[in-house]
Amino acid sequence: MVIHWLWVLPFVLLLIGGLIYKAYRHRGEHHHHHGFGHKHGEATIAVDTYAYHSGIAHWNPAFKVVLSIVLLLFCVISDSVEVSLIIICFTTFVTVVLGDLSFHHYFEMLTIPLVFLIVGSVIILINFSWTPMTNVILCLPVFNFFVIITHDSLYVTVHLWARAFGALSAMYMMSLSTMSNEIFSVLRKAHVPALLIELMNMIYRNIFIMADTQNRMRNAAESRLGYVDYRTSLKSFGSTISNLFIVSLKRSGHLFDAMEARCYDGELLFLETEKPLNAKLILMALGVVAYCVLVWVMTRGV
């Protein structure tokens, strides 16, 4: 059993080494952002800026998209905790160390889906029974019933958790390093229907318009003490939301006018910088995938 975890070790060491190196490189710098959750009052959602400032923004976007999707699929198909852990370590390494995203921000981003993950897995982990059971990990009497964790449910939960988390970090590697327009253009090259891409693009853009509108209105309400106590907050929030749709609709109407004025006819096309493929990166990616396959083969059936 223990021997199987040794397969994961190189990647754990890679991640730890990378984090130490990163901490060393950034020593002496001050952290400006304390506390948890995103800051209010900022004009836009940060996700887009992370991709823009990423240290691996210059990698070929198709390469990043394909690598993430391959890792994601492999993570889901293999259903192996070892493989998932390797993928988690590797993608975190790529995002946080190579991409130079602060670990704090990365973790903050992860907390949103993590909450869902934990809530979802707890329900699978725990069983209830009227009678006590033997040969289980935990059998906790509560009032007149028992909360039980069996070996099976623990196994399922750990596997589910590893799969979901692995897939998640693979997707994060892509979305935190590749700008939306690059992802859309990769999809276009992969011959995804133009209508779908256009819809994605429009929805994405309108999310930002709405977030930005909401932010402005919130700031405006806050400056007039609209969030002074809980009751007022609720009231302000309510009227902000009902205005949000009208204002956002108006703004997206303006945006569409501006697009039409520049001869938009149903396809959003932009000039992009060529980001050439790098042989070293391909080798690295192949190496990681091959290693995952090897680990999967060596650890199955145990």
Partner 1 sequence: MNHIILKTENLTYSYGDGHQALKGISVEIKEGERVCVVGSNGAGKSTFFLNVNGVLKHDGGDIYFKGQKVGNSKKELNELRRGVGIVFQDADNQIIASTVMGEVSFGPMNLKLPKEEVIARVDEALEYMNLSDFKERAPHYCSGGEKKRISIADIIAMHSEVMIFDEPTAALDPLNAAMLEDVLTRLSAQGKTLLISTHDMDFAYRWAERLVVFCNGEIIADGTPVDILADDAIREKANLRKPMMLDVYEAMTRHGFSSMAEDHPKDPDAFNHWLGQLNQMQASN
Query: Residue numbers of the site for partner 1 (CB under 8 A)?
Result: 44, 48-49, 52, 179-181, 205, 251, 254-255, 257-265, 268-273
For residue 211, the minimal CB distance to partner 1 (Å) is: 12
Alpha carbons 112 and 211: distance in angstroms, whole number? 17
Shortest separation between residue 50's beta carbon and partner 1, angstroms: 12
Query: Of 151 and 250, which has the nearer Cβ to partner 1?
Result: 250
Q: Which amino acid is at 274?
A: E
Cα–Cα distance, 165 to 171 (Å, whole number) = 10
Nearest to partner 1 of 159, 251 (CB atom): 251
Closer residue to partner 1, CB minimum distance, 153 or 185: 185
- Residues 133 and 146 sit within 8 Å (Cβ to Cβ): yes
Nearest approach in angstroms of CB 64 to partner 1 is 16
Q: Is 201 exposed, middle or buried (0-12, 13-18, 19+ CB in 10 A)?
A: middle
Kindly tell me which of 47 and 160 has the beta carbon lying closer to partner 1.
47
Q: How far is the CB of 176 from partner 1 (least distance, A)?
A: 15
Closer residue to partner 1 (CB): 231 or 262: 262
Neighbours of 221 (CB within 10 A): 19
User: Which residue is associated with the tokens 């990166």?
Assistant: 281
Residue closer to partner 1 (CB basis): 259 or 282: 259
Pairing between strand 127-129 and 138-142? unpaired
- DSSP code for 97: I
Q: How far is the CB of 243 from partner 1 (least distance, A)?
A: 18
- Measured in whole angstroms, how far is the alpha carbon of residue 138 from the centre of its chain? 33
Strands 145-149 and 138-142: antiparallel
Least spacing, CB of residue 245 vs partner 1, in Å: 17
CB-nearer residue toward partner 1: 4 or 205: 205
**Nearest-angstrom CA–CA distance, 33 and 145:** 46
Partners of 138 in the β-ladder: 149
Give yes or no for a contact between 258 and 52, defined as CB atoms under 8 angstroms apart.
no
- Nearer Cβ to partner 1, position 152 or 272? 272
DSSP state of 58: T
The least CB distance from residue 85 to partner 1, in Å, is 34
**Residue 19, both tokens:** 């984090």
Minimal distance, residue 269 CB to partner 1, in Å: 4
Element (H, E) at 139: strand 138-142
